[in-house]
Amino acid sequence: MRFEPLEIRDVVMVEPRVHGDLRGFFLESWQERRFAEAGISAHFVQDSHSRSAKHALRGLHYQLRKPQGKLVRVVQGEVFDVAVDVRRRSPTFGRWVGMVLSAENHRELWVPPGFAHGFLVLSDSADFLYKVTDFYNPGDEICIRWDDPRIAIDWPLPVGAQPLLSPKDAQGGLLAEVEVFE
C-alpha cells in the first residue's frame, strides 16, 4: 500500500497494491498494521454502501460531537471526492482537497475526524463504500452547502448542469453559520 498525504496533510490518499491476472484482481482495502505504520490508527465500527446516479452530490457532512473518521472508496463507477477542514484552529480551516476515486484506480481516501466530506458522481452511477470510526448519529450531523462561496469547491460539473441533491443537502448551511470543531 502507498499512503500519500494530500495538500491538507491529514487527508491521505491510499493506493492499495492490486494483484491481477486473467481471473480478475485481489487487493487489501484495509490492513490495520499497514495503516498504523502510515500514522492512521483507526478503529472502525461500521461499513456503509451507497449507490448514486450521475451528478448526485452527497455532502458536505460531518458529525460534531461524535466525529467520524472515514475511509472511502468506489467499487463501481467514478466520483469526485472532497474533504473540507472544519477545525477552526487549523491553519487550513475552510480549505478543501479533492480527488477522483474510481473502480478503475482502486484509490481510497482517509478523511479524518474534523473534516466535512462529500462527493459528486461522475459516471452513470457509482457504488461508494465507507468505513467509519463512530456510529452514524443523525441528530449530530451537520451539513454545509455544496456551493458555499467561502469554500469554493471546484466541482467538475458540466457547464449549466446542477447536481442532484437530497432535501437535507439542499438546505445545508454556510461554513460561516454552522457549528465547527474548535
**DSSP single-letter state for residue 173:** B
Q: Count CA atoms within 13 Å of residue 82 on its CB side.
A: 26
Torsion angle of the four alpha carbons 174, 159, 128, 2, in this order, in degrees rounded to the nearest 10: -90
Establish whether 62 is a catalytic residue: no
> CA-CA distance, 101 to 14, in Å (whole number)?
10
Q: Among 61, 62, 106, 117, which one carries the catalytic annotation?
A: 61
Q: Among 19, 106, 130, 136, which one carries the catalytic annotation?
A: 130
**Nearest 5 degrees, angle CA 159-CA 161-CA 165?**
145
Parallel/antiparallel/unpaired status of strands 24-26 and 19-21: antiparallel
Establish whether 61 is a catalytic residue: yes
Grid cell listed for 86: 472544519
> Mind telling me the catalytic residues?
61, 130
